[in-house]
Amino acid sequence: MGVELEYGEVSAVDHKACRIRVRLDDRDGVESYWLHVPQRNTQGTQRRPLMPELNEQVAVLLDADGVGGVYLGGIYSTAEPPPVVDEDTDYVRFSDGTTLTYDRAAHVMALDCVGATTLKCAKNLSVECGEPVSVKAPSATLDVPEVQLNGNLTVSGNVEVGGNVNAGGTVMDGGGNSNHHSH
């Protein structure tokens, strides 16, 4: 039983069963039977990437009868060229505009999410960086019962304290006033 490599456009998607149907170019637009979309892992470790989208150009492998087969992957064309052609860049652009890019030559990873991003773990979280870290936001909240800061703290702005201030050393203001003066 021979197999044939064929091309076409996705005409139907069954997200629940991970299958697609394809309008076949070499068969005058005849629609294939349901074709499985191979997954990298289906037991123990399971992975379910996004399914091909309607009208996406794809390659499929079909049996000689054109009945059974499997989806091989999407293909770029002159009408739909690759979004990035740099040989060192891995790039994902989701249909909502979110992008994930890794440039292995520059050693830079970027996530540009159009919505919220959540990082959640059940154990310790460690962030290490060999260079300064910058966080830019309209505001930030640390909702933790205790914070320990090892190092100097510089504040460019006002400080409001809702509780007591305990100092183990001298407290000085910019004018040279300390907490040990008398009136």
For the chain, the domains span: 3-74, 82-126
Task: Say what the pLDDT of residue 21 is.
Answer: 95
- The tens digit of pLDDT for each residue in 23-59 reads 998 888 889 999 999 888 788 888 778 899 999 999 9
- The tens digit of pLDDT for each residue in 107-137 reads 999 999 999 999 999 999 999 999 999 999 9
Task: Say what the pLDDT of residue 46 is.
Answer: 82
Q: Which helix (H) or strand (E) holds 59?
A: strand 57-63
β partners of residue 6: 60
> For domain 3-74, is the CATH number 2.40.50.460?
no
In this predicted structure, the answer to whether residue 183 has a pLDDT above a threshold of 60 is no
Cβ neighbors of 138 (< 8 A, separation 6 or more) are none
For the chain, give the percent of residues with pLDDT over 90. Answer: 68
For the chain, give the percent of residues with pLDDT over 70. Answer: 95
- The tens digit of pLDDT for each residue in 139-177 reads 999 999 999 999 999 999 999 998 998 888 888 877 766
Give the N- to C-terminal CA distance of the chain in Å, as an integer.
Answer: 102
